[in-house]
């Protein structure tokens, strides 16, 4: 048994050393950093990968997350420039950019951030009146982010965004605001209703105007068409009468032409003249003068007609 004692001791020592070495080997994950101290003093910052501590000399002072983090602070009482007390809760987005400064820059950085946020908010709201506070969220957010980012830079912290989550005025102020909002809505509704009625009246007037214009245009068109029809009828009537006169004149001319071609004697001519006189006698004339040289011929013609009648 005694001969195995050295072997057992050596094996135990090896196991203890291996355990110590294994215990001091660390794997740093993505988005994390380890701050390392040697004998109580800052030595280095470990990034992503496998690292080993020197036993009994080195230690991990702080494990730091490099991800963006969010701090949601409870409502803080603040007083506006016009002495209105309200409750405002704030949300701060930040990330750690320097693990060494974050570890050694300030004691309890999260408490320091909360206190700094509250005091900064009170300072900014103290320079604004109630109405400005309610309508200037973007301005307040921008100012707070700039002030906090500058103040936390020595702590290795980068403030990326600040938001006012809720602004809660006192109950009496809220009631007054609700009444004001209701009055404003009623005013806008009345304006919209008046605008609608005005627009409707304009449309009706424009419709009546268009209707009157169309009616006048239709009447004018009808008068024009009627005048055109009357004009066309008069033209056609005149053309008809002219055509009738031309036809009569043509027939007379043709008859004279035939008569001339037949070489009539004096008695035939006198007979034709007598027929013309008969046509004249059928008109409105009450007195007809017959030339003396035609009177004998007229009597002969009358006698012939009486013989024919018998």
Is residue 227 predicted with pLDDT exceeding 80? yes
pLDDT of residue 45: 92
Provide the residue ranges of all domains of the chain, joining segments of one domain with +.
2-65, 69-169, 173-262, 264-310
Is residue 276 predicted with pLDDT exceeding 60? no
pLDDT band at 310 (very low <50, low <70, confident <90, very high): very low
pLDDT of residue 277: 55
Q: Which residues lie closer than 8 Å to 106 by C-beta, 6 or more apart?
A: 112, 154, 155
- In b/e form, how buried is each residue of 103-133, taking b as 16+ CB within 10 angstroms? bebbeebeebbbebbbebbeebbeebebeeb
pLDDT of residue 300: 47
Query: What's the CA dihedral at 110, 114, 119, 124 to 10 degrees?
Result: 110
Tell me how far apart the alpha carbons of residues 274 and 254 are, in angstroms, rounded to a whole number. 19
Whether residue 170 contacts residue 178, with contact meaning beta carbons closer than 8 Å, is answered with no
Mean pLDDT rounded to a whole number for the chain: 80
Q: Report, in angstroms and rounded to the nearest whole number, the Rg of the chain calculated over CA atoms.
A: 63
Is residue 293 predicted with pLDDT exceeding 60? no
Phi, psi dihedral angles at 105 (to 5 degrees): -75, -40
Q: What's the rounded mean pLDDT across residues 138-146? A: 92
pLDDT band at 183 (very low <50, low <70, confident <90, very high): confident
pLDDT of residue 132: 84
Tell me how far apart the alpha carbons of residues 264 and 47 are, in angstroms, rounded to a whole number. 149
pLDDT band at 263 (very low <50, low <70, confident <90, very high): low
Q: What's the rounded mean pLDDT across residues 252-271? A: 63
DSSP 170: -
Is residue 291 predicted with pLDDT exceeding 60? no
- Looking at the domain 69-169, which fold is it? Tetrahydropterin Synthase; Chain A (3.30.479)
Whether residue 291 contacts residue 269, with contact meaning beta carbons closer than 8 Å, is answered with no
Question: Which residue matches tokens 């100012």?
Answer: 143
Tell me how far apart the alpha carbons of residues 19 and 89 are, in angstroms, rounded to a whole number. 50
């Amino acid at each position: 048994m005694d001969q195995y004692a050295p072997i057992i001791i050596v094996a135990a020592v090896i196991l203890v050393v291996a355990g110590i070495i294994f215990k001091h080997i660390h794997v740093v994950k993505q988005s994390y950093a380890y701050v390392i101290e040697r004998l109580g003093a800052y030595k280095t910052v470990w990034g992503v990968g496998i690292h080993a501590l020197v036993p009994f000399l080195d230690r991990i002072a702080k494990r730091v997350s490099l991800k963006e983090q969010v701090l949601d602070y409870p409502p803080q009482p603040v007083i506006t420039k016009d002495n209105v007390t309200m409750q405002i809760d704030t949300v701060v987005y930040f990330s750690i950019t320097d693990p060494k400064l974050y570890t050694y820059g300030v004691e309890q950085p999260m408490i320091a951030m909360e206190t700094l946020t509250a005091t900064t908010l009170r300072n900014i709201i103290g320079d604004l009146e109630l109405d400005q506070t309610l309508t200037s969220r973007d301005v307040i957010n921008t100012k707070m982010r700039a002030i906090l980012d500058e103040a936390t830079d020595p702590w290795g912290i980068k403030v990326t965004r600040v938001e006012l989550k809720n602004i809660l005025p006192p109950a009496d102020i809220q009631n007054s605001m609700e009444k004001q909002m209701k009055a404003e809505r009623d005013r806008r509704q009345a304006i919209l209703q008046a605008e609608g009625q005005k627009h409707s009246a304009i449309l009706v007037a424009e419709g009546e105007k268009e209707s009157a214009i169309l009616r006048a245009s239709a009447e004018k068109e009808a008068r024009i068409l009627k005048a055109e029809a009357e004009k066309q009828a008069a033209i056609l009537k005149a053309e008809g009468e002219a055509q009738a006169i031309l036809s009569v004149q043509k027939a007379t001319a043709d008859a004279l032409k035939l008569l001339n071609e037949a070489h009539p004697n004096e008695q035939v001519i006198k007979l034709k003249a007598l027929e013309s006189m008969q046509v004249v006698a059928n008109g409105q004339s009450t007195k007809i003068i017959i030339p003396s040289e035609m009177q004998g011929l007229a009597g002969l013609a009358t006698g012939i007609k009486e013989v024919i009648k018998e």
